[in-house]
Structure 1
């Protein structure tokens, strides 16, 4: 149990005397990302993190809904995303006059995110991954 607590504390999990734990989103996201590794199971990862499998499944659900941003996958080689060209909708939304003219916009369904022009590509990729963007 001591090694589990040491591991969890290294992830930033607050462990109270009552046994309750407060999980930061980064730790939840790491646990969810571990379930996506080849050969990993929810039960196995849950045991490693000391949580119930249904709790880990709830975090996975949050990630699928875009409410929990997963860390970008660390790959040895570059990964390219397909370019999808969509027809422009006939009715364009009114431009927001308060918004800066030069922004990076990510639109996925009802979700619209605007980022500063200097946003790193890795952060943009993390957001797109979390949104689960798909072809039009």
Structure 2
């Protein structure tokens, strides 16, 4: 603020005196880690933890974001797979046969007319199927 010499004694003037260097506070890593752990504990809000320690809430949110990024950067992208040899267990032959029949039966239609069973495979012509069904009906 500048004043001319004419009104030096007639108007009140306000002065602010700053003490200290006005530099940023530095937090020890242990203290910062403890505050971060408190903010993740979930017992109170992040803003309440920040205010209790004399921080701006935005500063604590920044610390949390930086900590998440550091963890993500340190984490491996791929996790190695460990393959152990499986113990060989005897599979009953009956279950194997059922599976193979089921695999083949997926594309088949099975009809039973008057005790006569007819299996029709994939890709069969519709006119042939109709002729077989008609023949079964007539013969009985």
Shorter-chain TM-score bucket reads: 0.3 to 0.5
The normalised TM-score by structure 2 is 0.35
The normalised TM-score by structure 1 is 0.36
Structure number, greater radius of gyration? 2
Higher helix share: 2
